[in-house]
């Protein structure tokens, strides 16, 4: 029996950790999105959060191409997705393509942290969306050449992820198999001892 959306929402909650913001527990990446539209006010809030992300030299190299369902931008982004993502992502009400300028504006020197900064801004979007009761899912599976040509994006911009944004839908709307299994499985994370180090291969002492 397939779990309901509310049951999956509970299943995906991360364990509570003292003094860690609750939004980190509730943020997860569904593939089933409902038909409910995202308001312009909500969309503005998530991009306002991205606007205040940190960046090298305050360059703010990120740019976001946003497509609402049935818009030309939405169709262009959707057409660039690989077949696996086309099976679910175009059902979301919003698709967002993230790109970053590869040179600093003040002297045209290479900005080697442009994609890092785009990732930070994208992370701010995911957290603000979660705080509003929205969900996001980032995708690497798309054809960058197709996207560049469709939007005539200059060569000086590098590509990040495509993001689906909207409200969670019922898992039963997904095709059975890998998509459904992933949607209804608990989240897992590596332990801190594996990712926080004091020397290579040596866990940092955090308590």
The closest alpha carbon to 3, from 188, 182, 196, belongs to 182
Euclidean distance between CA atoms 196 and 192, whole angstroms: 6
Provide the pLDDT for residue 176.
78
User: Which tens digit of pLDDT belongs to each residue from 38-88?
Assistant: 999 999 999 999 999 999 999 999 999 999 999 999 999 999 999 999 999
Question: pTM for the complete prediction?
Answer: 0.96
Is the per-residue pLDDT at 1 higher than 70? no
Euclidean distance between CA atoms 121 and 201, whole angstroms: 30
Euclidean distance between CA atoms 23 and 3, whole angstroms: 23
Enclosing domain of residue 142: 5-203
Residue 90's domain is classified under what CATH number? 3.40.109.10
Q: Write a three-state SS string for 103-137.
A: ECCCCCCECCCHHHHHHHHHHHHHHHHHHCCCEEE
Q: Which long-range contacts does 4-10 make (Cβ < 8 Å, 24+ apart)? A: 4/170, 4/171, 5/32, 5/34, 5/168, 5/169, 5/170, 5/171, 8/168, 8/171, 8/183, 8/184, 9/168
User: Which tens digit of pLDDT belongs to each residue from 103-157?
Assistant: 999 999 999 999 999 999 999 999 999 999 999 999 999 999 999 999 999 999 9
Show the tokens assigned to 100: 């970053």
Q: How many domains does the chain have?
A: 1
User: Which tens digit of pLDDT belongs to each residue from 171-205?
Assistant: 999 987 899 999 999 999 999 999 999 999 999 99
Dihedral (C-alpha) 164, 168, 169, 172: value to the nearest 10 degrees?
A: 100
Beta strands in 44-199 (DSSP E): 62-68, 94-101, 135-139, 157-166, 197-199
| Structure letter (DSSP) for residue 81 | B
């Amino acid at each position: 029996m397939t779990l309901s959306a509310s049951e999956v929402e509970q299943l995906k909650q991360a364990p509570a950790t003292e003094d860690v913001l609750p939004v980190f527990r509730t943020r997860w990446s569904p593939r089933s999105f409902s038909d409910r539209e995202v308001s312009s006010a909500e969309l503005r809030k998530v991009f306002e959060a991205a606007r205040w992300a940190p960046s090298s030299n305050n360059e703010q190299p990120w740019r976001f191409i946003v497509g609402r369902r049935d818009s030309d931008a939405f169709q262009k982004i959707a057409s660039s997705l690989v077949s696996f993502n086309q099976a679910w992502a175009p059902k979301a009400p919003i698709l967002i393509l993230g790109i970053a300028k590869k040179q600093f504006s003040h002297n045209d020197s290479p900005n080697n942290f442009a994609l890092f900064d785009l990732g930070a801004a994208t992370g701010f979007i995911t957290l603000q969306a979660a705080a509003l009761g929205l969900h996001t899912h980032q995708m690497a599976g798309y054809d960058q050449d197709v996207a560049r040509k469709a939007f005539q994006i200059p060569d000086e911009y590098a590509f990040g992820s495509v993001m689906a944004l909207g409200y969670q839908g019922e898992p039963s709307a997904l095709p059975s198999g890998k998509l459904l299994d992933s949607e209804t499985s608990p989240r897992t994370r590596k332990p801190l001892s594996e990712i926080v180090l004091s020397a290579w291969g040596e866990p940092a002492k955090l308590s």
